[in-house]
Chain A
Amino acid sequence: MWYLCVFYHRLLDYRKPEVQALAELFGAFGDDDKSRSLEWRLPKEYHPDSPFHFVNLPSEDIARNIANRSILVKGMHEIWGEGSCYEEMEEAIRGYPEDRKLPYLTLESTFKINIDSFGKAISSEDQKEWIKRLSFIPFKGPVNLQNPEHKFWFLETDNYGSNNGLPPIVQKRIFFGREVGAADRKLLPTYQLKSRTYIGPTAMDAEMAFLMANQGLAAPGKLIYDPFVGTGSILVAAAHFGAMTMGADIDIRVVRDGRGPDCNVWSNFRQYGLSEPISLIRADNNLPSWRAGLNEVFDAIICDPPYGVRAGGRKSGGRKLLKGVVDPYTVPEEKRADHIPSTAPYSLAECVHDLLDLAGRMLVMGGRLVFFYPMLRDEFCDTDFPEHPCFRLIAACEQILSYRYSRVLLTMVKVEPYTTEIADSAKKMHQDFRENHMKWLEEGNLHAAVFAPIDHRSDVNGDSKIISKDTKAKYRGKYV
């Protein structure tokens, strides 16, 4: 059955993949469904960035589950009628099968009609007028504005053109329908970083962490791992959805010490009444200490690897040692217990290779690897993402962070079991990938590219500000 899925107008790239992931989680696909993808359709002449999308789902229960668990679905609606003008919509509602309408219009059921428009405001007088015009629908039950049993929505988009930063819509469209489910955005103020006791400079904001947990299909009974756990902001979201969590970090001050007994990674979980992680380990992603023979144990690996823009990665082995400047340093026996090993920089290419290898080995079949990958925006191109023979890329969602760079949330599914042959061929793929991307994947280059001063050579006349203002597109697209 087709539902109108109305999205919040933000994080545009993340919207459909979230619904897609939740469809998988709530069993929208049969076992023999090879494509495992949903059928989508846009209202006529709509831009793909529009908040209005139709999606085909097998049942209302699935539609409700998806919408209620999502972060970006403003409402999932069973549409009773739509049209380019009011009369056309009324006609459609009248023609909609009675047996689909009457169960929601009974004497006992309370209801409320909401009005929403995209791209313009409607005055309260107009809203009342619109509601009055719907009186031909035989509502019998009492109105309840606080806690209605059934919510109906009157949705309108205007043909406002493309001048105000919204996606261009050629045709005006109005919809009337019954809400099946909607995201609980109250989660976001509850989990917002500014009220969390322990955060670091790269803590993942709550909305994005929930989106990542949804991409990773976090659910009770599953075990989810974050090899760059930091203050635990991603695992908090996974634990909210009932998953068991594990995290590792190379920085012991972050995972063990925090800022005291009531301000550390554990306390971040206690703060929200969530189960604490199964374990936090101080370990190096470059030299994992998993025992031999241990594999296929995590249901998802969700992380934000350090890629050297806000925080750089570190791995075991001293810097000088790796460059061959000094002989291997031997720690004197009496100092071994409290010795703090020096670490070496960990390039993004190596870090991503280790992550894919770890995921290939440690994820269950069908398990998911969800991680952020940085992109310089003038180089953005689909084929640039890292690959691994065990994985199929199912979603790449870009979030623009600055004029120069963005990060892309990659979601990969494990489709092939891990073998030593696969590990070897992955190593080769990694070498090729690394050679092709050498210039910015190496230590410090990405940071330099992102923070380099603006090139002033072009503005000999000193009017660079005017130029940059003019070239900025009116339609903001992915910036929202």
Chain B
Amino acid sequence: MRLLTHNMLSSNIKGVSSGFPLRIEVEKVVEKQVEMNADFLRNMFPKIEWKAFAYAAKALGYSDLPEEADSSQLNSQDFLQKFHHALLELHLEEGVLICPETGRRFPVNRGIPNMLLHEDEV
């Protein structure tokens, strides 16, 4: 699971009001090189909740991201490279996503987060 996905998901258990950001428990992280597409990064940037993104990158062991970011930084090649690396090249292969409100654990197995709810949670 890449961090773009983490930034889009929340816990949707019935009754939970702030299920975002999901806390990350890491078992295994892998890095895979991906060709950079600057247009894609610029399209995605405004959609990213930066604080949650920087937290997630740190959880996966990457702490080169600034605490805050605004769109003017997209002109910097250095920033784009870091953004790209954190967004698309880091994968949470095995681990758990934890609902910040209820502590419900959503397993991430072979890179695939399992967001399906139990019968008593819908």
Contacts and interface: CB of A to CB of B under 8 A. Distances in A.
A220 B39 contact: yes
Nearest to A315: B122
Contact of A255 (B2, B9, B112, B119): B112
Contacts of B37: 220-221, 244
A360 B12 CA distance: 19
Contacts of A281: 5, 9, 112-113, 115
Contacts, number: 109
A282 B111 CA distance: 11
B59 to A, nearest CB: 17
Contact of B10 (A222, A250, A291): A291
Given A252-B112, A287-B117, A278 B88 contact: yes
Interface in B88-122: 88, 105, 107, 109-120, 122
Contact of A250 (B1, B49, B116): B116
A284 B43 CA distance: 26
A432 to B, nearest CB: 26
Interface residues of B, number: 38
B69 interface: no
Interface string A330-346: 11000011010110000
A275 to B, nearest CB: 7
Interface residues of A, number: 42
A176 B37 CA distance: 43
A47 interface: no
B116 A284 contact: yes
Interface in A279-302: 279-284, 287-294, 296-297
Interface in B62-101: 88
A256 interface: yes
A246 B49 CA distance: 19
Contact of A279 (B5, B109, B119): B5
B44 interface: yes
A246 B111 CA distance: 13
9 contacts: A221-B37, A223-B43, A278-B4, A283-B115, A291-B7, A291-B9, A291-B49, A318-B119, A341-B116
Given A220-B37, A341-B118, 4 more contacts: A292-B20, A317-B119, A329-B119, A341-B116
